[in-house]
Structure 1
């Protein structure tokens, strides 16, 4: 008999740095950025950055595995934010690097992983969780209750 849901979940650890960087690379590549930016330079810079963030306990990644292999992930970055009108708590959450390998898509993994991030925020009493959605992820985030905000951005430099 085949297991109807053959996935298990775990938190990433320091042995997963290359997997984290690969997921980030593939996520941006799937969005069509490979031809526009140097994703390999981003990948190389990401490994030491994420290692430092994990050591500081400000970056967590929830993984889905199948047969012991990581097939999907979603990260939570904990951001020290000035107390404001949304929440007096100075800690905010930022959801990022939500990625599922192509052969494991459309199985609900991204939703389950984002729900784990949301649960972690609730456990930590973080009331504000934000993200930047790709066109592919937007429908999922809207179903989970995320709303568009008034955020704006300027790109400085080259």
Structure 2
């Protein structure tokens, strides 16, 4: 049975590599953009792991063995809304499974652990952005498409 543990500050480099590879595997960004992202993400991750607003979940086949899959929860302060009044939202990110471990149900195990941990910490709303690889897993779990839109920096009039 797989073992899931919480990430510590000692895992920042590993999680940063996973995030880089997750985007590379989906052909997002390109090498220059991903290399530029890595140090900025590592600094962000260090700050949020230390503050307890990022919870990393790391899965290995046995306690102490190589991490084969991972995911993260970013706990965000969120304004109360007519659909949910709780001032907390859990955003799932950095879901990654090593190529040699894909197809074993590890992504499902991390997803289930992340949703349960989000609920345990008081977040009744859990959101994410799905890659083409992840979308079927999230939909099967019960996630639904939302109406989010985005305006990027220089695109404003």
Shared fold per TM-score greater than 0.5:
yes
CA–CA distance in 2 between the matches of 1:53 and 1:120?
Answer: 16
Q: Distance in 1 between matches of 2:109 and 2:61?
A: 14
Matches of 2:30 and 2:84, distance apart in 1: 40
Q: How many Å separate the matches in 2 of 1:35 and 1:54?
A: 27
2:152 is matched with 155
Shift of 1:103: 0.3
Query: How far apart, in 1, do the equivalents of 2:83 and 2:60 lie?
Result: 35
- Size of the aligned set, in residue pairs, is 153
Aligned equivalents of 2:66, 2:142: Cα separation in 1: 30
1:1-12 equivalent positions in 2, closer than 5 A: 5=1, 7-12=2-7
Matches within 5 A, 1:58-69: 58-66=53-61, 68-69=65-66
Cα distance in structure 2, aligned partners of 1:118 and 1:108? 16
CA distance in 1, matches of 2:149, 2:106: 30
Partners of 1:139 and 1:37 in 2: CA distance: 29
Deviations 1:87-119 (A, max 9, x none): 211010000010000000010001110101110
How far did residue 43 of structure 1 move? Answer: 0.8
> So what's the TM-score if we normalise by structure 2?
0.92
Which is richer in helix?
2
Deviations 1:101-139 (A, max 9, x none): 000001000111010111012212211110110111000
Contact 1:75-1:97 at 8 Å conserved across structures: yes
Corresponding residue of 2:100: 103
Name the TM-score, length of structure 1 as normaliser: 0.91
The runs of 5 or more residues in structure 2 that have no matched partner are: none
Runs of 4+ in structure 1 deviating by more than 4 angstroms, as ranges, are none
Deviation at 1:85, TM superposition (A): 1.5
